[in-house]
């Protein structure tokens, strides 16, 4: 038996385990203990038993509506505070539940602090999932259906409560280097893909001559659409660009041709002595949908060596004149190792291949993706990931190969690209008797039933991104975890065609815990919705808490099931002949 808690800046994740089924247990009550005050608060729940309703969507205690699973996410914890949790089995019948008298079955977790991190690397995550009951109730329109126009108005309006709820601390992270320039002096060098959020634009404009920005082209049909040019940019993108030009900002318009995008989202802080000190990266576009209507992350790293590498790349972007030429590509095709003891980072930039587009058949593995695949192949216990539309080959195809060769490796992930996810699970099921929910696609509740109202899947009909993170976490709970993040979509196409940055961060347990909490939050949210879409009818779907202790049977059956046999080991990804390492200048 055990209970363990993890946290990032946004939420706490609690998981626990028992050796055997607990008779008459209808679930678990979770208590949160505030370290500063000692006060215990019972966590809320919104879904009750199968014969009950919650039409007003009011919370009940988990002592009344207990948790019928072995993990939980605490969204009601206060950022910055330190907590531990009690996990208490509840026995009896619905409406007459009591704590189990056997105190040995009451579990207690370690302490966690909701924080972006304690060292030189800080990670931030938003709450950009809009297919939630909370959002549906907040933007309810005619016939109780969620209203996309209401959502869009809310997330574009500074100070709006829903906007603040969805973006969490991600705006603060994006603005941190801007604030640093304003308080300490120095300059900001930015390379951005999309820009339309009013508060972020105002922040950039406030720097005046201290801002140097490369602004690339966003697709006319939404995020990460490569089929665009300067003439068909969305109006809000053109307006943002005009404002920067009109203000006399040092701006470079990096408009790439069809099939290529300037996909970076990074800022570099250069101090008043002209030395690069700090860098912001991650998946978050500088838009209201990027902050509020997609899942995203941002990472702030204090490291003069790393920041200088980003600044040097920024200068090559500016000098490249939107050609993505041979010299530019060759310079990118070098790993830039950085040591922030005990953490080690491999930094890659794109495009980094000799060819400008990924060949339709048998494409050579780009060196950055070869390192990613090699690390995935070396996973000892787990691979967890989030992706948008990585293409093929990508982390999805590699994860499938690895899982077929090692079915006992814990692999979980979620992606926007439903076809890629379905292909993954179809291939997996054709070879093994695995569950269909190993990797899930972003999904929503399409119709009202039982406790649930209809949900929005994406912000508008024109939106593409839902899960927008680009994350792989390898062996998150081990001694040598790996976190892979940045702007890179984690497939060959991005390395061949796009301006990208990719961070491979090794040996940082705190960071791995933070990222895996986010990954499992997103995965867990979409898992049930994805399964729901696979159900023949709503009658077969989950309708609420089970009335007996039989809900435990599935979990213990899975634990006792024979381990599946491994398929033949897949051919390893060809590794570059001697990894090219950038020389320090």
Q: Which domains does the chain have, with CATH numbers?
A: 2-114 (2.60.40.10), 121-507 (3.30.870.10)
Characterize the bridge pairing of strands 266-270 and 82-93: unpaired
For 16, the token pair is 């626990």
Question: Is 518 within 8 Å of 471 (Cβ atoms)?
Answer: yes
The token duo for 461 is: 């009909």
What pLDDT score does 436 carry?
47
Per-residue confidence (pLDDT) for residue 432, from 0 to 100: 46
Phi, psi of 151 (to 5 degrees): -60, -50
Give yes or no for a contact between 376 and 398, defined as CB atoms under 8 angstroms apart.
Answer: yes
pLDDT given for residue 433 in this prediction: 44
Would you state the pLDDT for residue 230?
A: 53
Looking at residue 465, what is its pLDDT? 84
Write down the pLDDT at residue 538. 55
Q: Give how far Cα 206 sits from Cα of 48, 158, 279, Å.
A: 50, 17, 19
Using CA atoms, how far residue 9 sits from 78, 80, 285, 295, in Å, is 10, 8, 19, 14
Beta strands in 160-227 (DSSP E): 187-192, 211-216
Determine contact, residues 283/520, Cβ cutoff 8 Å: no
Tens of each residue's pLDDT in the chain, 585 residues:
999 999 999 999 999 999 999 999 999 999 999 999 999 999 999 999 998 888 788 999 999 999 999 999 999 999 999 999 999 999 999 999 999 999 999 999 999 999 999 999 999 999 999 998 899 989 998 888 899 999 999 999 999 999 999 999 999 999 999 999 999 999 999 999 999 999 999 999 999 999 999 999 865 444 555 554 555 566 777 899 999 999 999 999 999 988 999 999 999 999 999 999 999 999 999 999 999 999 999 999 999 999 999 999 999 999 998 899 999 999 999 999 999 999 999 999 999 999 999 999 999 999 999 999 999 999 999 999 999 989 999 999 999 999 999 999 999 999 887 776 677 665 544 444 445 467 877 776 665 555 556 878 878 877 878 999 999 999 999 999 999 999 999 999 999 999 999 999 999 999 999 999 999 999 998 887 887 776 656 555 667 899 999 999 989 987 776 666 655 555 666 655 556 777 655
Please give the structure tokens belonging to residue 168: 């969490």
> How far, CA to CA in Å, does 34 sit from each of 9, 45, 70?
16, 19, 22
Nearby residues of 226 by Cβ (< 8 Å), 6 or more positions away: 219, 258, 259, 260, 261, 497, 498
d(CA 407, CA 565): 7
- Cβ atoms of 217 and 230 within 8 Å: the answer is yes
Residue 539 has what pLDDT? 53
Residues 498 and 334: beta-carbon distance below 8 Å:
no
Burial 530-553 (b: 16+ CB within 10 A, else e): bbbeeeeebeebbbbbbeebebbe
Structure tokens at 482: 């790996």
What pLDDT, on the 0 to 100 scale, is given for residue 161? 98
Buried b (16+ CB within 10 A) or exposed e, 184-222: eebbbbbbbbbbbbebbbebbeebeebbbbbbbbbbeeb
């Amino acid at each position: 038996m055990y209970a363990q808690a993890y946290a990032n800046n946004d939420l706490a994740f609690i998981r626990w385990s028992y050796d055997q089924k607990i008779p008459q247990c209808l679930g678990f009550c979770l208590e949160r203990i505030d370290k500063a005050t000692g006060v215990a608060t019972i966590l809320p729940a919104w879904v009750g038993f199968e014969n009950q309703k919650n039409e007003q969507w009011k919370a009940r205690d988990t002592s009344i509506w207990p948790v019928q699973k072995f993990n939980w996410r605490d969204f009601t914890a206060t950022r910055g505070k330190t907590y531990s949790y009690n996990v208490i089995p509840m026995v009896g019948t619905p409406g007459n539940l009591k704590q189990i008298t056997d105190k040995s079955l009451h579990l207690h977790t370690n302490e966690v602090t909701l924080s972006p991190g304690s060292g030189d690397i800080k990670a931030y995550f938003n709450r950009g999932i809009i297919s939630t009951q909370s959002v549906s109730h907040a933007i309810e329109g005619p016939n109780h259906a969620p209203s996309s126009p209401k959502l869009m108005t809310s997330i574009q309006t500074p100070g709006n409560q829903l906007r603040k709820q969805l973006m969490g601390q991600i705006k603060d992270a994006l603005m941190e280097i801007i604030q640093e320039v304003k308080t300490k002096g120095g300059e900001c060098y930015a390379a951005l893909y999309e820009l339309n959020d009013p508060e972020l634009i105002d922040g950039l404009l406030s720097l005046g001559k201290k801002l140097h920005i490369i602004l690339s082209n966003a697709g006319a049909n939404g995020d990460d659409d490569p089929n665009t040019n300067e003439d068909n940019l969305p109006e809000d993108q053109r307006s943002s660009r005009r404002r920067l030009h009109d203000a006399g900002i040092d701006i470079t318009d990096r408009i790439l041709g069809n099939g290529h995008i300037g996909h970076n989202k990074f800022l570099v802080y250069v101090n008043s002595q002209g030395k690069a000190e700090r860098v912001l990266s991650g998946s978050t576009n500088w838009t209201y949908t990027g902050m509020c209507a997609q899942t995203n992350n941002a990472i702030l790293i204090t490291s003069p060596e790393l920041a200088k590498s980003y600044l040097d790349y920024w200068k090559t972007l500016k000098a490249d004149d939107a050609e993505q030429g041979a010299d530019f590509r060759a310079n990118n095709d070098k790993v830039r190792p950085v040591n922030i003891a005990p953490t080690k980072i491999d930094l890659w930039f794109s495009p980094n291949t000799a060819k400008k587009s990924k060949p339709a058949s048998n494409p050579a593995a780009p060196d950055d993706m070869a390192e990613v695949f090699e690390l995935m192949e070396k996973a000892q216990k787990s691979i967890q990931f989030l992706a948008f539309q990585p293409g093929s080959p990508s982390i999805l195809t590699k994860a499938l190969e690895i899982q077929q060769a090692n079915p006992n490796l814990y692999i979980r992930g979620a992606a926007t690209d439903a076809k890629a996810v379905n292909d993954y699970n179809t291939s997996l099921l054709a070879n093994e008797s695995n569950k269909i929910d190993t990797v899930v696609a972003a999904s929503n509740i399409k119709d009202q039933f039982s406790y649930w109202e209809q949900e929005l899947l994406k912000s508008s009909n024109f939106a593409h991104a839902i899960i927008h993170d680009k994350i792989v976490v390898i062996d998150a709970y081990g001694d040598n975890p790996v976190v892979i993040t940045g702007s890179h979509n984690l497939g060959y196409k991005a390395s061949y065609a796009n301006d990208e940055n990719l961070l491979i961060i090794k040996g940082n347990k705190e960071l791995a815990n933070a990222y895996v909490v986010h990954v499992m939050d997103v995965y867990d949210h979409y898992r049930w919705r994805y399964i729901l879409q696979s159900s023949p009818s709503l009658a077969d779907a989950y309708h609420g808490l089970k009335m007996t202790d039989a809900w435990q049977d599935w979990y213990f059956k899975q634990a006792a099931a024979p381990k599946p046999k491994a398929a033949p080991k897949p051919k390893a990804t060809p590794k570059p002949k001697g990894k090219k390492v950038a020389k320090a200048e």
